[in-house]
Chains A and B, each alone.
Chain A
Amino acid sequence: MSQTRAIPKRVRTTESPAVRRLLIGLALVFMGLFLVLPLAAVFVEALKAGWSAYWDALKEPDALAAIRLTLITAAIAVPLNLVFGVAAAWCIAKFEFRGKAFLTTLIDLPFSVSPVVAGLIYVLVFGAQGWLGPWLAEHDIKIIFAVPGIVLATVFVTFPFIARELIPLMQAQGSDEEQAAQVLGASGWQTFWHVTLPNIKWGLIYGVILCNARAMGEFGAVSVVSGHIRGQTNTMPLHVEILYNEYQAQAAFAVASLLALLAIVTLLIKTVVEWKHARELQAAAELPPERPHDSASNKAPALAH
Chain B
Amino acid sequence: MMTTASLAVPSTPAAPRRRAARRVLPGFNITLGYTLLYLSLVVLIPLSALLLKTFAMTWAEFWAAVSAPRVLAAFRLSFGASLLAAGANVVAGLLVAWVLVRYSFPGKKIVDALVDLPFALPTAVAGIALTAILADNGWIGQWLAPLGIQLAFNPKGIVIALIFIGLPFVVRTVQPVLEDTEKELEEAAACLGATRGQTFRHVIFPAIAPALLTGFAMAFARGVGEYGSVIFIAGNMPMVSEIVPLIIIGKLEQYDYAGATAVASMMLLVSFVMLLVINGLQAWQRRRHGA
Contacts and interface: CB of A to CB of B under 8 A. Distances in A.
A179 B210 CA distance: 37
Interface residues of A, number: 103
Interface string A26-43: 111011011111110110
Contacts of A62: none
B27 A123 contact: no
A37 B249 CA distance: 30
Given A91-B32, A117-B264, A120-B248, A260 B121 contact: yes
A11 interface: yes
Size band of the interface chain B makes with A: 35 or more
Contact of B53 (A14, A124, A252): A124
Interface in A238-265: 238, 240-241, 244, 249, 252-253, 256, 259-260, 262-264
B38 A271 contact: no
A136 B114 CA distance: 45
A191 B27 CA distance: 11
Contacts of B183: 13
**Binding site secondary structure of chain A:** helix
Interface in B129-146: 129-130, 132-133, 138-140
Interface string A1-41: 00000000001111100001001101110110111111101
Interface of B: 1-2, 5-6, 8-9, 22-28, 30-32, 34-36, 38-39, 42-47, 49-50, 53, 92, 95-96, 98-100, 102-103, 105, 109, 111, 113-126, 128-130, 132-133, 138-140, 160, 163-164, 167, 183, 186-187, 190-191, 196, 199, 221, 224-228, 232, 244-245, 248-249, 252, 255, 257, 260-261, 264, 267-268, 271-272, 274-275, 278-279
Given A45-B132, A220-B228, 6 more contacts: A116-B225, A116-B245, A117-B248, A213-B122, A266-B120, A267-B114
Interface of A: 11-15, 20, 23-24, 26-28, 30-31, 33-39, 41-42, 45, 83-84, 87-88, 90-92, 94-98, 100-101, 103, 105-110, 112-117, 120-125, 127, 129-131, 152, 155-156, 159, 171, 175, 178-179, 182-183, 188, 191-192, 210, 213-214, 216-220, 223-224, 236-238, 240-241, 244, 249, 252-253, 256, 259-260, 262-264, 266-268, 270-271
13 contacts: A27-B98, A28-B111, A101-B5, A103-B36, A112-B275, A114-B226, A116-B249, A116-B264, A129-B257, A191-B25, A192-B27, A219-B122, A267-B116
